[in-house]
Structure 1
Amino acid sequence: MWSTILPELMSITVFILTILCLQAGHSPSYLQNYAILSLNTTGLKSAYHERTQAGLPIHDVYNLYMMTTCSGYWTNNSAPPPALVTCSPVSWYSKFLPATLIQTDLTSHHGANLSSLSFPPSIQSAFVERFNLQLHVAFIFYVIALVWVGIVIVWGMLACWVGVLGSFAVLFTSSASTSLLIASAIVSVVQSQAVALINDQGANIGLSAGYNGRFLALTWSAFAINCVSSVVWSLSGFCSGLVRGRGDF
């Protein structure tokens, strides 16, 4: 019985970390520093002001999360977190469209549009054709991982009374690990490629992108802990099976 407590706690931790990956950015005050990437327009605004002597009515930063997009203004020398943050409604399909976000902010400003800003169309196209779809696939695998980990947690509760059942939890944790590995890998690739594309294509107009690595820390920690929990679940079932008749576990 007692041998199942540690792996059960590890599985609960994995479940929480995976939930956080999906819920980051759900509101202006919730895990804003855990964006997959941040689109920074301060350079674009500065270049526009130097050229026209007019302000550009767009947000300073647009943050991409698994299920939302949030925008805000820098108040501390372009250092997070942003202020006056607004977030899009939560959606199971991430739709980060940089050109659309900026154009929406420009609707009330008649002196500027995407054409006058020379916004690279390749950035929008990449998100429409690749990145948003890839993140949607990652979302699906996160949900699958949650289902498997949830089964492990329920199974662990049963194993508290029949300790040898802990051995079978490895079947579920292995499936969860596979799902988390795929999701984490997809997000890592999208993050790297999207940031590189934006910085390459947007450099001429002052557009830039970056990330702080906190989201990657969340998702890869969930994967690593779940892998370790598989080993612990296996050992738990083996040990409890040896001493089940003595009542020590």
Structure 2
Amino acid sequence: MVNLKSIFPTITAFIAFIITLCCVFAGTQKNMLDSVNLLTLYTPEGNSSSSSTSPAHTFYSVHVMSYCQGTLGPVDPSATDLYSSRNVTDCSKRTILFAFNPTAAWSENITHGPDLEWPRVISDDFHAFRMTSRAMAVLYIIGVGAVGSVLLVNAVSMAISRAQYGVFEFGFLVLGALSISIASIIATVLAFEFVALINAHGEGSNVAARYGDKFLGMTWASTGLLLVGSLVSFMNMFVRDEYVLEEPAPAPSKDEEEG
């Protein structure tokens, strides 16, 4: 019979591994989980005044290792969310030490027109946070490697049943949980504080930003799974049951009773 307690850390590690991979590799190709982004920057397109249905916008979807860009629309003027229709045109090449630079992301042939007075301070905001973004990406990569090592250790343990793998499982789980927890904290700060900063500096210039709620939900789900898995792995390694059921003593034989 399978002991659920012993395999529970492996189950949590496997699910967290898949979720974290989706967070890390989202947006590295066109239409590959492009909605799972850290934040999205919206800028008005140069020819927006010629649109007869609603203002056309260009968006830049910022991910962990890349960014995607595209246009919004056409959007129903009666819609409550003007950002609901997104057409992704292309994505940048993925790189581990990725930091989004909005001005460098614009194509040379795009003219934003008089509707956009790009606040230089927003470019400075992205420049100031570039090292934070890169550190976050590195932490996610470390976390993926650690959680992947947990799965590898458990695979080896199945092949070599006598191998003592519990310490390695616990160590890699702790490393993965710590790395992804810190990365998730950084992502949350960027999603709320940094997005609020961009919106404040972009007010009046038709520049806006929105944080990615899907990304935050997924990264914190992965963090929670790894923390629980680490706790159960610790219990499996270092906590013993206080009550051990002992086999009942054999009944005395007839000769022993007479003696």
| Shorter-chain TM-score range | 0.7 to 0.9
Counterpart code for 2:151: I
2:151 matched residue in structure 1 = 153
What is the alpha-carbon distance in structure 2 between the residues aligned to residue 81 and residue 7 of structure 1? 40
What is the alpha-carbon distance in structure 1 between the residues aligned to residue 110 and residue 238 of structure 2? 67
Whether 1:39 aligns to 2:45 is: no
1:61 matched residue in structure 2 = 59
What is the alpha-carbon distance in structure 2 between the residues aligned to residue 170 and residue 81 of structure 1? 44
2:126 matched residue in structure 1 = 127
CA-CA distance at 1:181 after TM superposition:
1.2
1:25 matched residue in structure 2 = 27
Deviations 1:36-58 (A, max 9, x none): 1111224x769x73xxx799xx8
27-36 or 5-14, larger mean C-alpha shift = 5-14
Q: 1:140 aligns with which of 138, 141, 162?
A: 138
Whether 1:182 aligns to 2:186 is: no
In 2 relative to 1, CA 241–12 (structure 1 residues): closer, same or farther, beyond 3 Å? farther
What is the alpha-carbon distance in structure 1 between the residues aligned to residue 212 and residue 123 of structure 2? 22
2:253 matched residue in structure 1 = none
What is the alpha-carbon distance in structure 2 between the residues aligned to residue 33 and residue 185 of structure 1? 20
What TM-score do you get using the length of structure 1 for normalisation?
0.79
Q: How many residues align?
A: 231
1:246 matched residue in structure 2 = none
Counterpart code for 2:92: S
SS at match of 1:144: helix
Unaligned residue ranges in structure 1 (runs of 5+): 244-249
Q: Percent identity, please.
A: 25
SS at match of 1:29: coil
What is the alpha-carbon distance in structure 2 between the residues aligned to residue 18 and residue 193 of structure 1? 23
2:255 matched residue in structure 1 = none
Please provide the CA RMSD for this pair: 3.2
202-211 or 79-88, larger mean C-alpha shift = 79-88
With a CA cutoff of 8 Å and minimum separation of 6, indicate the structure with the bigger relative contact order.
1
CA-CA distance at 1:119 after TM superposition:
1.1
**Structure that is richer in helix per residue:** 1
What is the alpha-carbon distance in structure 1 between the residues aligned to residue 84 and residue 7 of structure 2? 38
What is the alpha-carbon distance in structure 1 between the residues aligned to residue 97 and residue 224 of structure 2? 26
SS at match of 2:33: coil
1:98 matched residue in structure 2 = 102
Structure with the greater alpha carbon radius of gyration: 2
Deviations 1:164-215 (A, max 9, x none): 6435522221121111111111111122232112111111111111124111
